[in-house]
């Protein structure tokens, strides 16, 4: 069975609610009407009984009473009257009760208080009786007044008939109105569905019109538009990433093909072939390096790169990074200084941290002119460790800083994989530091150098558990740290090849 549409579901629920409301209202109305009519009839019946009892009290003899009663109560609209002596002998009977006997009245001991009861008398339909005992000049008697219940039942039946006609008509009107109202209420949802169905990856710039952003449907449309905006940004990032990756890969492939074609164009000496093969090996190494970086970032994005947090001595990681960059610093004539106490401990993956700081240190050396300096300092503030990588290099324009951590982004677009890296170093550094519970920020001034601040969670030497405390990131002012851990000048240490 095909499920009902939302419009029909809303209509049926609305109709069911109206039907239940009408049914309850109708039943309550009938019951209330019957009660009101019965109360009114009972009150009138008691009043008529008091009227004839007053006449009974004023009469001086039975004959006088009978004459007065025949004149006033023998024919009295819908009410009938009967007066009996306690032994059952009748004193007065109105026109409708001429055949009534005292024994026809249900056995009930009437008192000085008016009492009512319903009875099926042989003289007619079911009737409502009111009676009491009264004293008179000719003895004690039982006075009765009676009226038929047929009018009450007819009124109730008439009301029930009206409700039975009005109920289906009201239900049909409610269902029609509910169907129309649900259609109007769902029109914006239908428009939203049509707009969403017409969109594709090539039309992510389109947005759903929002007539009223403050109602539920408007809020849904606003949220949907925000989702489209995020998807548009993600698609643009994927396209840019694909284009940049293709460009970075095409350049070394073109160099490899060119070297191979030149080598095969004519017979060459062994030295020429070795040179060509050396160029090919260099380009293949760069391709492998790019592939490793892309793989690392893909694993970070997919959550597949699991770090095993462990206590890490920060000075050891930074010392290895400095040694790794020593030869590069020597060729650039850029001294590197490291200030870090042995007691500073953090938690994270040592290899990830080493890769991140190596990338930062390589960038600092690469963009510092000959004779400039690069310094690394560490300090602890409360539960955080702060690592500052400061260079006196060429600096970065303020417009570029927000995009420095984007993949394949380079301040100088003329640089390629062969002369300036792929633009993935900072992206990998941020991913690795984030995986270790830290954060990174960059500030720079053109021709005044660059300052990179890294925050990592601190761990005491005795601690064995990982403690991460994420707080709003703001790099504190750089301070002079205590002891110089090491100083590397261009001619000090041996060379260890960097992965970046």
Query: Residue 171 falls within a domain, yes or no?
Result: no
Contact call for residues 144 and 80 (beta carbons, < 8 A): no
User: What is the CA 247 to chain-centroid distance, rounded?
Assistant: 42
Q: Which two tokens stand for residue 327?
A: 């030869």
CA-wise closest residue to 489 among 376, 357, 327:
327
Same domain, residue pair 340 and 256: no
Same domain, residue pair 321 and 470: yes
User: Backbone dihedral region of 183: left (phi > 0), alpha (psi from -120 to 50 degrees) or beta?
Assistant: alpha
In terms of Cβ atoms closer than 10 Å to its own Cβ (0-12, 13-18, 19+), residue 348 is: buried
Backbone angles phi, psi at 152, to 5 degrees: -65, -45
Q: Which neighbouring-strand residues pair with 159?
A: none
| Domain interval for residue 335 | 310-488
Query: Residue 39 falls within a domain, yes or no?
Result: yes
Strands 384-391 and 439-445: unpaired
Q: What is the CA radius of gyration of the chain?
A: 51
**Tens-of-pLDDT digits for all 500 residues of the chain?**
678 777 788 888 888 888 888 889 888 888 888 888 888 888 988 998 899 899 888 888 888 888 888 888 888 878 889 998 988 889 999 888 888 887 778 766 788 888 888 888 776 678 888 888 998 888 889 999 988 888 878 888 888 888 888 888 888 888 888 888 888 777 777 777 777 777 777 777 777 777 777 777 778 888 888 888 888 877 777 776 666 666 566 667 777 888 788 778 878 788 877 888 887 887 777 677 666 666 666 666 555 555 667 888 989 999 988 988 888 889 889 999 999 988 888 888 888 888 888 888 988 998 898 889 999 999 998 888 999 999 998 888 888 877 787 766 666 544 444 445 556 778 878 888 888 888 999 998 888 889 999 999 988 644 433 333 333 344 444 443 333 333 333 333 333 333 23
Query: Residue 193 falls within a domain, yes or no?
Result: no
Same domain, residue pair 140 and 47: yes
Same domain, residue pair 406 and 377: yes
Same domain, residue pair 294 and 354: no
Number of Cβ within a 10 Å radius of residue 229: 13
Contact call for residues 81 and 145 (beta carbons, < 8 A): yes
Among 257, 276, 302, give the residue marking a domain's end: 302
Number of Cβ within a 10 Å radius of residue 144: 23
Q: What is the count of structural domains for the chain?
A: 3
pTM: 0.47
Backbone angles phi, psi at 247, to 5 degrees: -65, -45
Same domain, residue pair 382 and 242: no
The distance between the two most distant Cα atoms of the chain, rounded to a whole number of Å, is 162
Q: Which neighbouring-strand residues pair with 119?
A: 127
Same domain, residue pair 250 and 358: no
């Amino acid at each position: 069975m095909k499920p009902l549409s939302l419009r029909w579901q809303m209509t049926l629920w609305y109709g069911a609610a109206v039907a239940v409301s009408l049914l309850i209202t109708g039943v309550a109305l009938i019951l209330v009407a019957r009660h009101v009519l019965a109360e009114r009839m009972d009150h009138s019946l008691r009043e008529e009984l008091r009227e004839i009892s007053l006449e009974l009290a004023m009469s001086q003899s039975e004959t006088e009473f009978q004459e007065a009663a025949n004149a006033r109560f023998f024919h009295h609209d819908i009410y009938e009257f009967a007066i009996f002596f306690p032994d059952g002998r009748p004193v007065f009977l109105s026109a409708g009760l001429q055949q009534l006997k005292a024994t026809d009245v249900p056995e009930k001991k009437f008192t000085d208080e008016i009492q009512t009861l319903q009875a099926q008398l042989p003289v007619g339909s079911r009737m409502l009786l009111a009676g009491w005992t009264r004293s008179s000049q000719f003895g004690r008697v039982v006075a009765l007044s009676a009226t038929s219940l047929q009018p009450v039942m007819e009124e109730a039946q008439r009301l029930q008939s009206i409700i039975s006609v009005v109920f289906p008509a009201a239900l049909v009107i409610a269902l029609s109105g509910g169907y129309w109202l649900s259609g109007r209420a769902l029109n914006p949802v239908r428009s939203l569905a049509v707009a969403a169905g017409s969109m594709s990856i090539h039309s992510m710039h389109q947005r759903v019109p929002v007539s009223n952003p403050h109602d539920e449907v408007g809020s849904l449309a606003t949220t949907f538009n925000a989702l489209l905006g995020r998807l548009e940004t993600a698609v643009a990032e994927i396209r840019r990433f694909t284009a940049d990756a293709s460009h970075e890969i095409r350049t070394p492939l073109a160099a490899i093909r060119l070297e191979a074609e030149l080598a095969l164009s004519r017979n060459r000496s062994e030295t020429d072939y070795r040179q060509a093969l050396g160029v090919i090996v260099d380009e293949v190494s760069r391709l492998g390096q790019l592939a490793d970086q892309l793989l690392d970032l893909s694993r970070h994005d997919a959550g597949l790169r699991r770090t095993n947090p462990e206590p890490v001595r920060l000075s050891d990681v930074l010392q290895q990074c400095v040694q790794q960059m020593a030869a590069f610093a020597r060729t650039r004539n850029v001294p590197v200084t490291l200030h870090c106490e042995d007691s500073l401990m953090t938690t994270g993956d040592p290899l990830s941290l080493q890769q991140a700081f190596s990338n930062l240190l390589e960038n600092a050396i690469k963009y510092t002119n000959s004779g400039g300096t690069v310094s690394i300092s560490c300090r602890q503030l409360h539960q955080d460790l702060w690592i500052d990588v400061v260079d006196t290099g060429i600096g970065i324009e303020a417009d570029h800083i927000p995009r420095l951590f984007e993949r394949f982004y380079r301040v100088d677009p003329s640089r390629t994989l062969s002369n300036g890296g792929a633009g993935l170093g900072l992206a990998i550094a941020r991913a690795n530091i984030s995986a270790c519970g830290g954060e990174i920020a960059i500030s720079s001034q053109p021709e005044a150098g660059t300052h990179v601040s890294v925050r990592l969670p601190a761990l005491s030497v005795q601690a064995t558990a990982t403690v991460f405390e994420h707080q709003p990131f703001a790099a504190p002012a750089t301070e002079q740290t205590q002891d110089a851990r090491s100083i590397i000048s261009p001619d000090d240490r041996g060379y260890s090849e960097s992965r970046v």
